[in-house]
Amino acid sequence: MEKRNILIANDDGIGAEGIARLTAAALPFGRVFVAAPSSQCSGMSQKLTIRGELPVTEAPFPVSVEAAWAIGGTPADCVKAAIRALLPVRPDVVLTGINRGYNAGFDIAYSGTVGAALEAVMNGVPAIAFSAHENGDPGALEAYLPVVLNELLTRPAEPGCVWNVNFPDCAAAQCKGVLYGRRPAACSFYDNDYVRTGDALSIRVTNPGPDRCRKGSDIHAVLHGYVSVGEIRSPLF
């Protein structure tokens, strides 16, 4: 099996459970490096620090890797800085996640996990973004992560695109398999309602039901017990 140089980043921070899980799954496939935000950075899309300094520290990490850095910047900062300044080799692929919460439908536009993957593509490196329901049953994720990772590492996305993977909230036995070619749903999974409370707006999150999003979409797939895999194209390609 070909051994790759793999960079892993996320938006939930260097201490998140998801990035440790993804790193452990990636180890059989090559040399793994980690560069992740020092704090929670969800919802930052492809925001980038363009002036000043980025704090960078070598960080303890629960999985044995070549190196792990905590960076005081955004998810996109982590990928760009790692590729251009931190890694001793150019990565063959960038993996991001596993995000705590789905990145599907309109939510893709806001995702720091997807933003980091798109930053990799802009720097000429293939990328795969992984997400799962927060506080959900990890059974399907644990069973299908190695399968999907093995498949997508040998099947690069189209030029200018990243693979976007979402795991359903169900036990392995209840997962119906993997659906490829899923399109972003024309709705958000984490939609916002705003309620006026004095001088502020209280933000409440609502979720769509399983029949609200069209068949063939990413949200429809995960809400019906499938692993969803689709491509997201950078607007610059």
DSSP string across the chain: ---EEEEEE-SS-TT-HHHHHHHHHHGGGEEEEEEEESS--TT-TT----SS---EEE---SS--SEEEEESS-HHHHHHHIIIII-SS--SEEEEEEEES---BGGGGG-HHHHHHHHHHHTT--EEEEEE-TT---HHHHHHHHHHHHHHHTSPPPTTEEEEEEE-SS-GGG---EE-SPBPPSSBSSEEEEEEETTEEEEEEE---TTTSPTTBHHHHHHTT-EEEEEEE-TT-
Mean of the per-residue pLDDT values of the chain: 94
What's the pTM?
0.94
- Region 49-53: mean pLDDT is 93
Residues 152-201 pLDDT 10s: 999 989 999 999 999 999 999 999 999 999 999 998 888 888 888 888 99
Residues 96-151 pLDDT 10s: 999 999 999 999 999 999 999 999 999 999 999 999 999 889 999 999 999 999 99
